[in-house]
Structure 1
Amino acid sequence: MYLDRFNLKARVAVVTGGGQGIGLACVEALLEAGAHVYIADSNPKAAAEGQAAMKVKGYVPEVIEMEVTDSKQVDAAAARVMKEKGRIDILVCNAGIARSEAAAEDVTDEHWLNVIDVNLNGLFWCCRAFGRHMLAAGRGSIVNIGSMSGVIVNKPQPQANYNASKAAVHHLTKSLAAEWGARGVRVNAVAPTYINTPLTAFAKTNKPMFDAWIDGTPMARIGEPDEIAAVVMFLASDAASLMTGSIVLADGGYTCW
């Protein structure tokens, strides 16, 4: 009874930024659970490499080249999935950027707008485009990738733009959940700690920063992409059928201190 709730057989999923890192781990988790998965990525090389990595493991995800900041591309991607599969059951909004280490007073307009455009606007375009089809069908699960940075202010790196974008993602998640819950569409978010991905690779050459990250984490380590993907798979599945509007912290205890 309980394990069956994790079964995603015959479901159709789309993962933005799915070519690498957390996104690719989510692709693999959903594939393993039985879903048919599209890797939606603005980087054709990363998408192709991610697809190839999954084929080695016996899976065959499809690829959609899509820039989340272009709402027309997002709408077209949603239309393509509906045309090809006739349904959209799961959306994982993972695409995001950081651009940290700039003091707030030194952040340019371009710098600020770029982070907000990808992390917040792009995420909303995706929720809106794919969510419309879910609402029409009366079913669906959206999982947004937020951050513990939407809950606390990180140190020692200054990143007001990133923190603000992820706090907005969390509140948008709750807002959509409140609007769409009675119509069969659940919307939740995962708020990770520092994860071992290309996004955090810069810290490995900055020992004081990396040490501060570890010292601030009760588990004394950063996370791995599969640890976030496991939470995403749960939220996407019927095992989380009573959950909507939840922001699930997966932070190694970082926000405890």
Structure 2
Amino acid sequence: MFSLFARAAPHVPRSTVLTRNVQFSVRFQSTVTTKPKRAPRVLPSFSMEGKVCLVTGAARGLGNEFCRAFVQSGCTDLAILDLKEDEAKDAATELVASACVNSDMTPEDFNVIGVGCDVSSELSVQRAFEQVMDNFGRLDSVVASAGIVENYSAFDYPFDRIKRLYDINVHGAFFTAREAARNMIPQGGGSIVLVASISGTIINIPQPQTPYNASKAAVRHMAASLAVEWAKKGVRVNALSPGYMLTKLTKTILAHDQDLKKTWESLTPVGKMGEPEDLAGAIVFLSSDASKYMTGSEIRIDGGYCLI
């Protein structure tokens, strides 16, 4: 295409002809359009693409949110572990279905499995990891998220329930981390995240929960200890400590006790409880190559609760 102008436009290449003492300029316009360059939207090291991930206690709650964060960050190979296998499988199906909404991805692009696992049983954990390794052949990122909390005064806490709590929260985290490391070391390493809590740092009020608090303090120190033990083997171990989060279970509890919710919010500097998705960035950071020089550390996400 070209256009004729009575006067020459400055800085425009042109060819000039004289006709009847009138100067005409010819400006040629290219029909070729240049595709605009697109800068990367995220730091590549945060991508979970190509990584095989495993999350315990992932059929619901924070564990399920961690799975969603991994998928949203590019993970297509994922194992969801939970006590009831049918619930774990249902969670896997639902996660894939939601990942395909408004996306070019199809269910065939994902390999997300649900596996039944009682983390309080060493044998159950070993069998679950064997099943995962048989399916994927490797493990890159493992999150030990399974845990329970109960509120009894110290004098009234039944021993059988104390034992159950420690079997899940402490022994379960240890069994999960140990099996993860056993499979990661031969492949050159990986990332393990133990989900602790602010309860491992402060004393929650007004609810009495001494065994739970002590269990989460154990998980924090466990992460640091294992990090040192496995550092030269390429396995990183870090802890994630959430504050008061509005999970579905917490919402159900607080629906019957609004005064408790007000107390927790009044003790939190930001003045509100956290949403489960507030943990997404941290879990992806700890599990991805973005934190490859980080081990034995703790990320606390609590709206400032532990500062005062």
> Which category of TM-score, normalised to the shorter sequence, fits these structures?
over 0.9
Question: Which residue pairs with 2:284 in the alignment?
Answer: 233
Which consecutive unaligned segments of at least 5 residues does structure 1 have? none
User: Which residue, out of 60, 65, 87, partners 2:116?
Assistant: 65
Aligned residue for 2:260, secondary structure, equals helix
Question: Which residue pairs with 1:213 in the alignment?
Answer: 264
Question: Which residue pairs with 1:43 in the alignment?
Answer: 84
**Greater share of residues in helix:** 1
Q: Would you say 1:145 and 2:186 are equivalent positions?
A: no
Taking structure 2 as the reference length, what is the TM-score of the superposition? 0.80
1:45 CA drift (Å): 4.5
Q: Which moved more, 1:28-37 or 1:9-18?
A: 28-37
Aligned residue for 2:155, secondary structure, equals helix
Larger radius of gyration between Structure 1 and Structure 2: 2
Q: Would you say 1:120 and 2:170 are equivalent positions?
A: yes
Aligned residue for 1:205, secondary structure, equals coil
User: Which residue, out of 202, 222, 229, partners 1:179?
Assistant: 229
Distance 1:225 1:63, change over 3 A: same
CA distance in structure 2 between the aligned counterparts of 1:39 and 1:169, rounded to whole angstroms: 21
1:136 CA drift (Å): 1.9
Q: 2:194–2:238: 8 Å Cα contact kept in structure 1?
A: yes
1:144 CA drift (Å): 1.0
Letter in 1 for 2:87: A
Letter in 2 for 1:166: K
Q: Would you say 1:19 and 2:69 are equivalent positions?
A: no
1:53 CA drift (Å): 2.5
Question: Which residue pairs with 2:142 in the alignment?
Answer: 91
Aligned residue for 2:143, secondary structure, equals strand
Q: Would you say 1:55 and 2:105 are equivalent positions?
A: no
CA displacement, residues 53-92 of structure 1 (integer Å, 9 cap, x when unaligned): 3122226421111110111111111112222211111101
Which structure exhibits the higher relative contact order, with contacts defined as CA atoms closer than 8 Å and separated by 6 or more residues?
1
Question: Which residue pairs with 2:19 in the alignment?
Answer: none
CA distance in structure 1 between the aligned counterparts of 2:247 and 2:89, rounded to whole angstroms: 18
CA distance in structure 2 between the aligned counterparts of 1:111 and 1:92, rounded to whole angstroms: 24
CA displacement, residues 143-174 of structure 1 (integer Å, 9 cap, x when unaligned): 11100000000000000011000000000000
Letter in 1 for 2:135: E
Taking structure 1 as the reference length, what is the TM-score of the superposition? 0.95
CA distance in structure 2 between the aligned counterparts of 1:192 and 1:162, rounded to whole angstroms: 14
CA distance in structure 1 between the aligned counterparts of 2:214 and 2:205, rounded to whole angstroms: 15
Q: Would you say 1:4 and 2:4 are equivalent positions?
A: no
Question: Which residue pairs with 2:239 in the alignment?
Answer: 189
Aligned residue for 1:156, secondary structure, equals coil
Which consecutive unaligned segments of at least 5 residues does structure 2 have? 1-39, 101-106
Aligned residue for 1:232, secondary structure, equals helix
Identity of aligned residues (%): 36
Q: Which moved more, 1:61-70 or 1:165-174?
A: 61-70
